[in-house]
């Protein structure tokens, strides 16, 4: 019978050791510090749904306390950040063979790796000849020295295990049988890296669980991190397994039961920070950041969360104490954008967003027909000209002045918008029209409004379904709107900002220079305004450029401090404001824009490539 040397006595390691010991399978649990002292003094206090048990599992302080022998199995249950040091420490320990000689553990013994992330197996394979990678689900909590709380029943955990980098062998089948005897559901897989990548997607939001109070925004942030991670894994040639969909295990046997007097704790990163230990985020969010950079890209969301975790460690921030405002400072694009993967996940959730299809383009009056030809399932058509703008007789108010808030509220209720339900808007032109709805609803007091990044093209690019016909006839909503929640400029304010701050002209450069003017009375631009075509916010695939690229673009334009934006009629300027908001820069909209300015003969006009002066 194999003896298991479980290195790391945290939640996963202590649970496994307790169950092996209870099953009569030889085991040694390697612990350290106060935890080791408590285990030696009074045994492991193992709290289960049926009560508290004291398990007298044998413990050791390290390799000097354990005489390794042929037939042992090493199980590494440390956190990922501690794995390399532990592997180096144990790899070259002597193992007694049957003839009384010794051989290095790395050559004689297999090692089973239970870490999150994708790094540990490669580290181990540099030294150990036989490496078994594993994915584990375990709700066990370790916060107090000498105690673990294991609420799952009847199975205490789920393990997918395979030889790394691929395959299986007879010894692995024996290990799997022992793990099953230790009340774990176990499946042996031939492609364990895929399963490891699938687990990484599941735990990529652990840092958010550790830092932020629960709520819809935190859930959306986790979905955004997963979506970015999925894109990076795809770029790296990885094909993550869907653990629930692909497993052959009966997961009904793995259920978390409430334990009286033991409140639910957070995930592994939460537990680490609660104990004052280092987090594993470098091997979760940091792994995605690394993979992106290795393949010539970036993972700005995961990089930002990684940096925030380490700031929290430096400042000893209490677990779960940060609010939504802090999260939006870390991930400002959450207030603006949702990617197709995240949207699909939200649509399948408990509070799916309301979808608005704002199919409009200058010179194309057939938006409703385009909607009928194909739209995101469930999306309601919104007419920009009649529902997102007023129609005054005075041309100095522009072609698309802001509607009365009462009219906008009536339209929003007609679309089915209700209090507490998120809204996602999209179009087929990279958000250039939908951004008007995004801005207008935020101006009217809705805070949970976002743009589908890349619009309909990004949705269909992933093979997602579209719906044809007129779309749903929604139940009337009950939303209440009030204007004034986004900053606006009138003509005098725009003129002043062009002198004292930065006023961005979001039209095409030839219109800014005054070379052409297809629709408005005069050609040129507001004196002092800076040319910043809205189209430059988008990458070649029609999605918003990366945050670092947008920051560089607007920094070069001098867009800091007081910023305002205008365009032809106040539509594409909203897209510019969305891009600025996504990087944490506030900007005001001159809603009348050039159509209003150029209709007033008393307003000066500048031409040419330079801002000019008023």
Write the pLDDT tens digit of every residue in 402-447: 999 999 999 999 999 999 899 999 999 999 999 999 999 999 999 8
Of the listed ranges 21-35, 361-375, 506-520, the least confidently predicted one is 361-375
Residue 391 pLDDT: 83
Residue 93 pLDDT: 97
Rounded mean pLDDT of the chain? 94
- Between CA 551 and CA 592 the distance in angstroms is 27
The string of DSSP letters for 3-29 reads: EEEEE--SHHHHHHHHHHHHTT--EEE
Residue 393 pLDDT: 77
CA–chain centroid gap for 320, Å, is: 17
**Non-local CB neighbours of 236 within 8 Å, separated by 6+ positions:** 291, 294, 295
Residue 250 pLDDT: 96
Question: For 16, phi and psi rounded to 5 degrees?
Answer: -60, -45
Taking 3-state DSSP, the helix, strand and coil percentages for the chain, each rounded to the nearest 5, stand at 40, 20, 40
H or E segment to which residue 577 belongs: helix 572-582
- Between CA 66 and CA 60 the distance in angstroms is 7
Asked if the model's pLDDT at residue 614 lies above 60, the reply is no
- Between CA 440 and CA 424 the distance in angstroms is 13
The mean pLDDT value for 545-559 works out to: 92
Q: What is the per-residue pLDDT across 85-99, written as a single tens digit (0 to 9) for each?
A: 999 999 999 998 877
Q: What is the per-residue pLDDT across 327-365, written as a single tens digit (0 to 9) for each?
A: 999 998 888 999 998 899 899 988 899 999 999 887 788
CA distances from 555 to 502, 513, 538, 560, 583 (A): 11, 22, 16, 7, 11
Band (pLDDT 50/70/90 cuts) for residue 548 is confident
Asked if the model's pLDDT at residue 554 lies above 60, the reply is yes
Band (pLDDT 50/70/90 cuts) for residue 191 is very high
CA distances from 133 to 108, 163, 222 (A): 17, 6, 25
Contact assessment for residue 303 and residue 289, using Cβ atoms and an 8 Å cutoff: yes
pTM, two decimals, is 0.84
- Between CA 340 and CA 452 the distance in angstroms is 7
Q: What's the CA angle centered on 35, arms 29 and 39, to 5 degrees?
A: 60
Residue 189 pLDDT: 98
H or E segment to which residue 406 belongs: helix 405-415
The mean pLDDT value for 3-23 works out to: 97
> How far is the first Cα of the chain from the last one, in angstroms, to the nearest whole number?
89
The mean pLDDT value for 560-588 works out to: 94
Q: Is 229 a catalytic residue?
A: no
**Non-local CB neighbours of 591 within 8 Å, separated by 6+ positions:** 398, 400, 401, 402, 488, 489, 570
Asked if the model's pLDDT at residue 581 lies above 60, the reply is yes
The mean pLDDT value for 351-380 works out to: 91
Of the listed ranges 105-114, 283-292, 465-474, the least confidently predicted one is 465-474
Band (pLDDT 50/70/90 cuts) for residue 166 is very high
Q: Is 43 exposed, middle or buried (0-12, 13-18, 19+ CB in 10 A)?
A: middle
- Between CA 211 and CA 326 the distance in angstroms is 10
Q: What is the per-residue pLDDT across 231-280, written as a single tens digit (0 to 9) for each?
A: 999 999 999 999 999 999 999 999 999 898 887 778 888 888 888 888 99
Question: For 108, phi and psi rounded to 5 degrees?
Answer: -100, -30
**Which of the following is catalytic: 290, 567, 571, 573?**
567
> Can you read off the two tokens belonging to residue 302?
């995961």
Residue 134 pLDDT: 97
Band (pLDDT 50/70/90 cuts) for residue 462 is confident
Asked if the model's pLDDT at residue 1 lies above 90, the reply is no
Band (pLDDT 50/70/90 cuts) for residue 17 is very high
Residue that wins the pLDDT comparison between 383 and 1? 383
- Between CA 209 and CA 222 the distance in angstroms is 9
């Amino acid at each position: 019978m194999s003896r298991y040397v479980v290195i790391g006595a945290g939640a996963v390691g202590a649970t496994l050791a307790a169950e092996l010991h209870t099953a009569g399978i030889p085991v040694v649990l390697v612990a350290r510090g106060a935890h080791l002292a408590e285990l030696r003094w009074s045994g492991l206090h193992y709290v289960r749904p049926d009560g508290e048990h004291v398990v007298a599992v044998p413990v050791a302080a390290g390799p000097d306390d354990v005489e390794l022998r042929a037939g042992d199995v090493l199980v590494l249950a440390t956190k990922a950040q501690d794995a390399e040091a532990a592997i180096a420490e144990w790899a070259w320990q002597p193992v007694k063979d049957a003839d009384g000689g010794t051989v290095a553990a790395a050559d004689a013994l297999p090692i089973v790796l239970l870490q999150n992330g994708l790094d540990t197996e490669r580290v181990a394979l540099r030294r150990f000849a036989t490496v078994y990678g594993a994915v584990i689900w375990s709700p066990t909590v370790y916060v107090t020295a000498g105690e673990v709380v294991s609420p799952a029943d009847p199975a205490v955990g789920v393990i997918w295990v395979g030889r790394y980098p691929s395959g299986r062998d007879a010894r692995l089948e024996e290990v799997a049988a022992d793990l099953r005897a230790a009340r774990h559901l176990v499946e042996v897989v031939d492609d364990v890296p895929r399963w490891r990548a699938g687990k990484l997607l599941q735990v990529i939001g652990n840092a958010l669980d550790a830092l932020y109070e629960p709520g819809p925004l935190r859930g959306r942030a986790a979905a955004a991190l997963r979506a970015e991670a999925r894109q990076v894994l795809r770029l790296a040639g990885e094909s993550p397994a869907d653990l629930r969909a692909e497993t052959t295990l009966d997961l009904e046997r793995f259920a978390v039961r409430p334990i009286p007097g033991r409140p639910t704790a957070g995930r592994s990163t939460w537990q680490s920070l609660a104990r004052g230990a280092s987090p594993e985020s470098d091997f979760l969010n940091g792994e995605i950041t690394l993979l992106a950079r290795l393949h010539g890209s970036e993972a700005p969301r995961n990089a930002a969360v990684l940096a925030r975790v380490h700031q929290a460690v430096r400042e000893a921030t209490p677990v779960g104490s940060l609010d939504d405002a802090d999260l939006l400072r870390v991930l400002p694009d959450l207030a603006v954008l949702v990617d197709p993967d995240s949207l699909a996940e939200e649509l399948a959730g408990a509070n799916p967003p309301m979808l608005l299809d704002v199919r409009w383009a200058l010179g194309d009056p057939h938006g409703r027909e385009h909607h009928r030809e194909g739209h995101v399932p469930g999306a309601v058509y919104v007419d920009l000209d009649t529902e997102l703008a007023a129609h005054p007789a005075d041309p100095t108010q522009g072609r698309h002045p802001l509607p009365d808030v009462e009219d906008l509220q009536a339209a929003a209720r007609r679309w089915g918008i209700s209090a507490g339900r998120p809204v996602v808007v999209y179009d087929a032109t990279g958000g250039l029209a939908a951004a008007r709805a995004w801005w207008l609803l935020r101006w009217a007091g809705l805070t949970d409004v976002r743009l589908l990044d890349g619009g309909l093209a990004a949705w269909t690019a992933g093979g997602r379904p579209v719906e044809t016909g007129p779309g749903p006839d929604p139940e009337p909503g009950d939303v209440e709107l009030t204007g004034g929640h986004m900053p606006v400029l009138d003509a005098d304010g725009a003129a002043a900002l062009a002198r004292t701050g930065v006023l961005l002209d979001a039209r095409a450069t030839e219109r800014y220079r005054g070379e052409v003017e297809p629709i408005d009375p005069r050609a040129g631009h507001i004196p002092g305004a800076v040319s910043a075509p809205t189209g430059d916010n988008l990458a070649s695939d029609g999605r918003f450029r990366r945050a670092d690229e947008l920051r560089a673009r607007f920094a070069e334009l001098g867009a800091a401090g007081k910023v305002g934006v205008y365009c032809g009629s106040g539509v594409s300027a909203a897209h510019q404001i969305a891009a600025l908001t996504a990087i944490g820069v506030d900007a005001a909209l001159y809603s009348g824009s050039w159509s209003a300015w150029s209709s007033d003969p008393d307003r000066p006009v500048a031409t040419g490539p330079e801002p000019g002066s008023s």
